[in-house]
Each structure stands twice: as C-alpha cells, then as structure tokens.
Amino acid sequence: MDLNLVDTAFKLLTSKDDVIKTNALCRLKATVRFRNRKLPNDDDIGQYMSGVILDDFLPHSNDFSNTWTAARSASNRLGVHRTFEEASVRLQFQDIEIRANSKRRVMHTIRERQRADRTAALICTTHTKARLWSAFQCPMLAHTSSPTESIRASPCGDLSSGPDGEQSLLTDNCSGKSLMTKGAECALMLTAKLCHMSSAIVNHVSKL
C-alpha cells in the first residue's frame, strides 16, 4: 500500500502530460501551504513530502487528507526522501536515486532493495546462531582456564586464535577483532543463554 502511494504521487508529478503534471504540482503546493501557512518553496515541498517533522508541518486539522498527505505518510514510513528543484522531483531511497526517466521502476526498485535487506538480515541471523552454537559445542571449551579472565561477548562470533598466542573463543566476523578471551565455561553458557533470549525478544518485537 505504501509503495503504491509513493509511486502514484511520483508519477503524477513526473507525468509527460503537462496538464496533469501542472495540476498535480499546484495541488501539492496548496496542500503544503495549508499546512505551513505560507507560500512554499522547493525545499518546503521536498521536506513535507519526505515526511520531515517540523513545527510548520504540524497538522492544523485531521479533516484535511488527500493524495499528497497519504503519500507523505507513506514516504515517512518507508524512509523515502524527495527532492524538488525547478518543478522536477527525484526520489531517494537509501543510496538509490530515482529520476523521472525511471518512474516506471519505482515500486520494483524499492521492493527489490527491501527484499535484499531482509535476506541479508536473515543470513546474518542464521550465521550468527550457527557460529555461536558451534563455539558452544566445541570440545576446546572444556579446557578453559581462569574464571576471572574477562569475557566480552558478541552476537556474531567464530573460533580462532587470539593475540599473544592465546586462544580466543569468539572473533568478530566483520572486523576480525577478538571479542572473547579464555574464561570459565559457566560464563560462556550464561552468555549463550543471554544471546538466545535477546534474539527471541528481537524476533518477537519484529512480528508486532
């Protein structure tokens, strides 16, 4: 639904029909003017349609709603930013810029990026759990030394050699830095349980 609203508003403002494009821009300016009580410039329109929360844009009435107010709310939820410059409009989603000549690919472009983000997050979560479980089951954990040594846990980890010849139980897969030194097995078990609880809480919140 949000993608449809963003797509519709963008196509109206970039229509090849000058009448449609002019009418759309006039109605958009009227909407922004109604909200901030002054004649809007390009920056005002861009901020408004990007969902920027400013004192000038605080709603004066809940009765006023149209295509542009709906598109503004949708842009805010999706994280889509709009730039207006001399009656031309561009969409910015993360590091992707969509111009008028690519208006037919607005929904496809945003949807594919969202899908890629979800896939990357899922892979990271799965990889994290697998690495943590492998480290937890490793027989070498039974030979841990002093229980007083510091333990620094990370949600992503791997078993590798640490600095100064010591065995590091977990290392950051991204930076390669050691995240956990040798320590008591009971402390590692507690860390694993806390990580599992945190993951369960995140999964529960994401479903709300």
Q: Are the CB atoms for 12 and 5 separated by under 8 Å?
A: no
pLDDT band at 149, cuts 50/70/90?
very low
Instruction: Select from 100, 98, 118 the least CA-distant residue to 108.
Output: 98
Instruction: Select from 53, 22, 25 the least CA-distant residue to 40.
Output: 25
pLDDT of the residue at 23: 93
Task: Identify the domain containing residue 9 by its residue range.
Answer: 2-110
Other Cβ atoms less than 10 A from the Cβ of 57: the count is 16
Output the pTM of the full model. 0.53
Domain count for the chain, please give it: 1
Instruction: Report, as an integer, the average pLDDT of 87-115.
Output: 81
Per the document, the length of the chain is: 208
pLDDT of the residue at 20: 92
Q: Are the CB atoms for 174 and 201 separated by under 8 Å?
A: no
In a domain, 102, yes or no: yes
Give the model confidence (pLDDT) of 150-205 as tens digits. Answer: 444 444 444 444 444 444 444 444 444 444 444 445 555 656 666 666 566 656 54
In a domain, 62, yes or no: yes
Q: Are the CB atoms for 44 and 28 separated by under 8 Å?
A: no
In a domain, 47, yes or no: yes
In a domain, 181, yes or no: no
Instruction: Report, as an integer, the average pLDDT of 22-28.
Output: 92
pLDDT band at 19, cuts 50/70/90?
very high
- Residues 198, 202, 203, 208: is their CA dihedral positive or negative? positive
pLDDT of the residue at 194: 60
In a domain, 167, yes or no: no
In a domain, 175, yes or no: no
Give the model confidence (pLDDT) of 45-70 as tens digits. Answer: 888 888 876 555 555 555 678 889 99
Residue 192 contacts by C-beta under 8 Å, 6 or more apart in sequence? Answer: 132, 136
Q: Are the CB atoms for 170 and 153 separated by under 8 Å?
A: yes
pLDDT of the residue at 98: 82
In a domain, 174, yes or no: no
Percent residues over pLDDT 90 in the chain: 6
In a domain, 98, yes or no: yes
